[in-house]
Amino acid sequence: MNILEFTLVVGTVSSLAGFLGALTGLGGGTVLVPILTLMFGIDIRYAIGASLISVIATSSGAAAAAYVKEGFTNIRVGMFLEVATTVGALIGAFLATKLPTSLIAIVFGIVLLISSYLSSRSHLDKPIDSVPDPMATRLRLNGSYPTPEGQQTYFVQHVPIGFSFMLLAGTLSSLLGIGSGAVKVLAMDQAMRLPFKVSTTTSNFMIGVTAAAGAGVYLNRGYIDPGLAMPVMLGVLLGSVLGARTLVHTNPKVLRKVFSVIILLLAIQMIVNGITGRI
C-alpha cells in the first residue's frame, strides 16, 4: 500500500468512526484508536496522538459554538471542570510515554467495556434537585437550558465528586486518545446531576482544551505523525458533521445498541491482544 492509498483508506475509516461517534455521543476516538491499532498495525501511541488532534478539530467545530448559542452548554461548569481535566490530561500523557503499550491496550479495552454498557442504557433526565449545593451556589454553577416548555432551571450537585471524576476523565483522555465520554457521563450526568443534554454539550465544549493539553506532550515526545494525523483529523471532522446532521432523522436508541456491540467486540480484541503482547 503506497502513501496515497494509505491516506485514502485511513481517511475513509476515520470518517466512519467520526460518523458513528457523532451519532452515539461517544466520539470517534472510541472506535478509531482500536481500528488503527488492530487493523493497520499502527503503534498505539501514534494512534492516540492522531486521535487527540481529531478531538481538538471536532471540539472547535460549529456544533460546539451552536450549543453555546442555543443555551445548552453550561460555560461556568465547563471552565471549572477544565482545570481538573487539563491536569489529568498532562498526567495521562506522561503515563502514556512510560507505560508499556500492552498495558495501555488493556486499560483501553476496560474503558471500552464501560462505554459499551453506558451507551446501551437509556439516558433520561432525572428529577431536578430542589435544594442547591452550597459549593455550586458559591461558584455560580447552577443554570438553565431550553425545553419545549420553556427554560428549565437545574442545580449542580456534588461538586467535589464531579471534579475528582473529571481528573480521571482527563487522565484517560490523554492516555487513550478519546473524549472519555464514559467518565464524563458519570461525572456530570450521574454525580453532578446535570440534565443529559447539558452534560453532553458541556462535555463537547471541554474536550478540545483537554485534548490540546495532552497533544502538546505527545508532540514533544514525537508521537504525532503529520502523515497519520492529517487524514485522521479531516476524516473524523467530516464524519462528525455528517453524523450530527443525520442524528436528527434517526432513532438514537437503536444506534446506541448497535454501537455498544461494536465497541464491545473491539474491547475484547484490545484486552486479548494486550494480554498476549501483540500490541
More confident residue, 184 or 222: 222
The pLDDT value given to residue 138: 92
Query: Is pLDDT at 11 greater than 90 in this prediction?
Result: yes
Does the structure show a pLDDT above 80 at 272? yes
At residue 23, the pLDDT reads 67
Non-local (6+) Cβ contacts of 153 within 8 A are 128, 142, 143, 144
Task: Give pLDDT, residue 73.
Answer: 86
Instruction: Check pLDDT > 60 for residue 219.
Output: yes
- In the predicted structure, residue 129 carries a pLDDT above the cut 60: no
E strand spans, 133-225: 143-147, 150-154
Query: pLDDT higher for 33 or 243?
Result: 33
Share of the chain above pLDDT 70, in %: 85
pLDDT higher at 125 or 198? 198
- Is 131's pLDDT higher than 70? yes
Q: Nearest CA to 269 among 11, 43, 96, 31?
A: 31
pLDDT of residue 270: 86
Name the percent of the chain lying above pLDDT 90.
21
Burial 221-244 (b: 16+ CB within 10 A, else e): eebbeeebbebbbbbbbbbbbebb
Q: Does 245 score more than 60 pLDDT?
A: yes
Predicted confidence at residue 69, as pLDDT, reads 79
Which residues pair with residue 86 across a beta bridge?
none
**19, 22, 23, 28 alpha-carbon torsion, rounded to 10°:** 60
259-270 average pLDDT score: 82
Beta-strand ranges (E) seen in the chain are 143-147, 150-154
Please give the pLDDT value at position 224.
Answer: 92
Give residues with Cβ within 8 angstroms of 64, minimum separation 6.
73, 201, 204, 205, 208
